[in-house]
Structure 1
């Protein structure tokens, strides 16, 4: 089982999450840190008692559907696959396959109970148990949309445009979302895949989300978007690290970087120590 865990700001910066008491938020982080590679936790009450949280904290996480509970006492982090990126060589399937069989994986990467999906279209009925990390592909994003990111190319020369769109929307929550795919966008995507791999696209999306400048922290108040990222010259510069965050000329970190470091330290302390 992988030892490191990640969190997407799309969830932990939401009003629904931040409106909860700090003890409830802390319990959520602890459950994430101790979950298996599919997001399941078999001892939520022990963790609750260990950190001094109350029964109401756990009940609130369940009521607000940040975690889903089963009759067996096991819980699963609803947005686990939106949070975490795992490679196949570090992934161990959960032992709670009976509970897993009761879930489906929605297009945005979150779990939900299968009974909620029964009345939806057949296209959305993607069983969570069908998901597996694919060789060198990132496990979390492998199940976005109707097909996996590891299978962006479908058949001979076919491209899963919806999968690429959904990968961008999930990996770049701070940037303008893509709602539709015009012929021009499809043409640009197909052209990039003639020169770059699927992994390159995912890496560019991650680097764009991590870049203060591309997210809009610049003197022009300008923000990158999908169409800008997918251009050949811009994609190359992103992958080359031209937009990676840098130390200021004084040698001090930017305020955003300091806040991010503080957040990492806080989560590390909650987890019981500093990560290497």
Structure 2
């Protein structure tokens, strides 16, 4: 494994990064230094305790999407490939190949969950995560058994959301909308989402700037202090 790590100022100089507490920034840097050559960390809680960071510091990194979390508690640095270019003779592939298969690399070299592999239902946030942060990201165990038939919610594709947003003539970021609700297990509060179009409309209303800036965040979220996500 390569022993040197690099950082791009495009991320470290962003408002989203600099607005975080110094303890959260410090945790991010330490996680980057200890990640494997693909940006994965299997022991984020240990690193957090080692440097004296709090659970809130890790929660902030997750909420602002500087790190992506898997159901088993493994995390990956979202902008890892923007930070680091490792020569082939020094590169060691990550052992977390199953997690790698659930990701795609966007045009700007950042990681994102791949909806084609149906990762989203597995990114449900609950209290059973290996991180024990109350943000959870455990496997979706499916619908509870019920004697009554019910309609099963089907998450929309990015194209469906884009088409609906075009129809409504708003500027909602379809990809951010998908990522946000996917990592909540498509939950609205404590209830399973029933109508994603209603959620899009709520996302519009949740922005004080109206439709011209509606891509920021849905009104129902209570993580307002974590605004400023970096894509």
Q: TM-score, normalised by structure 1?
A: 0.42
Q: Deviations over 1:129-163 (max 9, x none)?
A: xxxxxxxxxxxxxxxxxxxxxxxxxxxxxxxxxxx
Provide runs of 4+ in structure 1 moved above 6 Å.
Answer: none
Q: Report what 2:7 is aligned to.
A: 7
> Which has the larger helix fraction?
1
Cα distance in 2 between the residues matched to 1:14 and 1:66: 12
Cα distance in 1 between the residues matched to 2:8 and 2:115: 27
| Kept after mapping to 1: 8 A contact 2:102/2:117 | no
- Residues 17, 117 of structure 1: CA spacing in aligned structure 2 closer, same or farther, 3 A cutoff? farther
| RMSD between aligned residues | 1.6
Q: Report what 1:24 is aligned to.
A: 24
SS at match of 2:104: strand
SS at match of 1:90: coil
**Mapping for residues 174-189 of structure 1, pairs under 5 Å:** none
Relative CO higher for 1 or 2, CA cutoff 8 Å, sep ≥ 6? 2
How much has 1:115 moved relative to structure 2?
1.8
Cα distance in 2 between the residues matched to 1:117 and 1:60: 26
Q: TM-score, normalised by structure 2?
A: 0.51
Q: Report what 2:38 is aligned to.
A: 38
SS at match of 1:61: helix
How much has 1:94 moved relative to structure 2?
0.4
Cα distance in 1 between the residues matched to 2:116 and 2:23: 30
Gaps of 5+ in 1: 122-276
How much has 1:85 moved relative to structure 2?
1.4
Aligned length: 121
- Residues 116, 50 of structure 1: CA spacing in aligned structure 2 closer, same or farther, 3 A cutoff? farther
SS at match of 2:56: helix
- Residues 117, 79 of structure 1: CA spacing in aligned structure 2 closer, same or farther, 3 A cutoff? farther
